Chain A
């Protein structure tokens, strides 16, 4: 997170949007979330992102570990469908208020 220094802002993660949980028409399975990664449009492109770690970062009122920001870690598990959407599993399930929210998809563990 931002340490008290005026460094250059570098982004080493890809932005992603949380679409919701894995679901069928009337049942949802909150242990797996669906993520739309920016710029990824086919399941072949998703292959690069398999296993990459991602973080859902949110703010809370009380300070924990000296900061109001909190994080849920997870990873990309597999592609979902034909349009580059991705399934992801997090350490704890994502809260429903995260739907439509931002997720950071990091470039590690790297395979290149």
Chain B
């Protein structure tokens, strides 16, 4: 129905379950079926079934598989990105717990479609480039920076995909492949880093001592109990 439907109310109030206030004949009158009949020349309007459209003639297939194989059930489930912890909001300073940059304090930018967190050092302060990080390997601190001016929309999961190099399998190429060990970052990505960091650094400089905070690393010391620390 194209019209927006209001919730339909019954004109026949229920006295007890199964018993209505009004009888069938009274309901006939209340619903106005008599008016519809009058409007349509004495009988209730009918819509006859349309004659079945002739189907195209299908030719029998030439080949049948030997056994009927069961078809797997269709799965239309789309996984959602991991739920972001409430303590992690754009501009939060995070502590990385594992990996190459463990212990580094880092600025959170946004959550990507895969559920991973987009994060940047900034590179000048602690050497952490624009990077993806899993939520489970991160502690969110209560320090937050205002990064509303930062535009991180060009960074998606695709930006971080490895480039697939397809080589033809010839002998000369096989020997050359061994030489190509050095992978330098394309200058584009270095530029992206600088552009993004320029804005983030502005926000960082506005808070006193924050750039020293981000340059230093987190470590547990003697007597520190993580379950009692407030981050």
Are B137 and A110 interface neighbours, CB within 8 A? yes
Are B139 and A107 interface neighbours, CB within 8 A? yes
Within 8 A of B (CB), among A10-25: 10-14
A96 CB to closest chain B CB (Å) equals: 29
Which DSSP category, helix, strand, loop or mixed, fits chain B's interface? loop
Segment from B25-33, B194-202, B220-228 that makes contact with A = B220-228
| Residue in A closest to B227 when the chains form the complex, CB atoms | A48
Are A109 and B220 interface neighbours, CB within 8 A? no
Are A11 and B227 interface neighbours, CB within 8 A? no
Segment from B35-43, B97-105, B163-171, B178-186 that makes contact with A = B97-105
Q: How far is the CA of A14 from the CA of B225 in the complex (A)?
A: 8
Residues from chain A with a CB closer than 8 A to the CB of B102 are: 10, 12
| Residue in A closest to B231 when the chains form the complex, CB atoms | A112
Are B220 and A13 interface neighbours, CB within 8 A? yes
Chain B interface extent, by class = 20 to 34
B217 within 8 A of A: yes
Given contacts A110-B137, A112-B139, contact A45 B219 (CB under 8 A): no
Within 8 A of B (CB), among A75-112: 106-112
Are A48 and B226 interface neighbours, CB within 8 A? yes
B134 CB to closest chain A CB (Å) equals: 9
Which DSSP category, helix, strand, loop or mixed, fits chain A's interface? loop
Are A106 and B97 interface neighbours, CB within 8 A? yes
Q: How far is the CA of A45 from the CA of B87 in the complex (A)?
A: 21
A4 within 8 A of B: no
| Residue in A closest to B216 when the chains form the complex, CB atoms | A8
Chain A interface extent, by class = 20 to 34
B177 within 8 A of A: no
B218 within 8 A of A: yes
A66 within 8 A of B: no
Q: How far is the CA of A75 from the CA of B56 in the complex (A)?
A: 64
Q: How far is the CA of A8 from the CA of B103 in the complex (A)?
A: 10
Are A112 and B136 interface neighbours, CB within 8 A? no
Residues from chain B with a CB closer than 8 A to the CB of A108 are: 97-98, 136-137
B140 within 8 A of A: yes
Are B227 and A49 interface neighbours, CB within 8 A? yes
Residues from chain A with a CB closer than 8 A to the CB of B139 are: 107, 110, 112
Residues from chain B with a CB closer than 8 A to the CB of A109 are: 136-137
Residues from chain B with a CB closer than 8 A to the CB of A47 are: 227
Interface string of A40-70 (1 = CB under 8 A from B): 1000010111000000000000000000000
Residue among A13, A47, A112 with most chain B CB within 10 A: A112
Are A11 and B136 interface neighbours, CB within 8 A? no
Are A110 and B138 interface neighbours, CB within 8 A? yes
| Residue in B closest to A41 when the chains form the complex, CB atoms | B225
A10-B217, A12-B97, A12-B103 given; 6 more Cβ-contact pairs under 8 Å: A8-B217, A11-B221, A12-B219, A39-B227, A107-B226, A110-B138
